Amino acid sequence: MVYESVPGFCREFLFYKRNVQNLSQKTVDQYYLDMKLFFQWLADENGIKSPSVEIPSDGRFVHVEIVKKLTFGDLLNYLNYTTSELDNHARARARKISSLRGFFKYLQKNNIIDENPALNLEVPKMPKELPVHLNLFEAKKLLESIDGKNFSRNYCIITLFLNCGMRLSELAGMNIGDIDFDRESVIVRGKGNKERRLHLNAMCIDAIQEYMKDRYSETHIKGGAEKALFLSRNGNRLSNRMIQTMIKTFIEKSGLDPEKYSTHKLRHTAATLMYQNGVDVRVLQAVLGHANLGTTQIYTHIGDEQVDKAIENNPLDTLDIHKKIKQKHK
């Protein structure tokens, strides 16, 4: 992406994010969409016309001098616009605020502006949403629903999701050389292309080995896909979209709701099952590849049913202490 709909000094910010801070292309593209909207709003507010008659205003032509004069109040007006005109919810506004804070911090760091108007912009508080996940019975149902021509491949993919908690992009990007059967592990590349090594349990190793027998029988592997672990029937690396479509098919087949459960929910499932079976939250952070512990701590939720059961099974409940105290105070 060339980021042509923003001014040159904003493009430099985006290149900085991608090439210096090493953010993923997907993350930088999201920054671009946020900044594109912001500069379009600035163009509208300042009556900046486009040379094209067909386009009444154009964010590309916002001069840096306009940005230098922006105040905290101006940014609040922009956020009010995203709420009142675009009906942005708290999560969308939070992302836009994060983009603005990063942009103005970059400008100040590079002496393009003296004062940072976004310094005191606060991210709106959002209600914590517990991660949706399959329980153990539902995970088994999903695995049992897998069949068809690509059984070994599809079974292997879903097994890795449910056991290792990989991201979709991590699984799709796996190469044969990433697997170390001697060490019973695999290397995955997460956000920012950071590598981490994940343990492969017996179920995962067995699934990979069974799939590899079928993979090596393929004779039509396309150039560039030789290293890829998971291949399409056309001999190309299996894409994110193809994996999502496949998983949706078996979620439906297993009788689960495809609107509720997605590929990412399988990652939630792995994380939740690991935590519920005694994995420490800091270990879970390393497994999932989270930069911040706070992101992982959402998995420390325990379902209401489990809370009820835990309290019900408190050994104090069996001692009839409450009855004795009640009798004493009569």
What residues are labeled active site? 167, 191, 264, 267, 290, 299
Residues 6+ apart with CB under 8 A from 246: 150, 154, 157
SS3 217: coil
Dihedral of alpha carbons 272, 274, 277, 278, sign = negative
Residues 6+ apart with CB under 8 A from 113: 67, 68, 104, 107
Residue 257 CA to residue 279 CA, distance in Å, equals 28
The two three-digit tokens of residue 216, written as one number: 């090596």
Give the phi and the psi of residue 294 in degrees, each rounded to 5.
Answer: -60, -35
The two three-digit tokens of residue 19, written as one number: 């090439």
242: buried, middle or exposed (CB in 10 Å: 19+, 13-18, 0-12)? Answer: middle
Q: Which residues pair with 196 in a beta bridge?
A: 188
Q: How far is CA 315 from the centre of its chain?
A: 41
* CA separation, residue 205 to residues 10, 137, 152, 155, 309 (Å): 47, 22, 12, 12, 35
Residues 6+ apart with CB under 8 A from 32: 1, 3, 6, 14
Residue in the block written with tokens 């479509």: 245
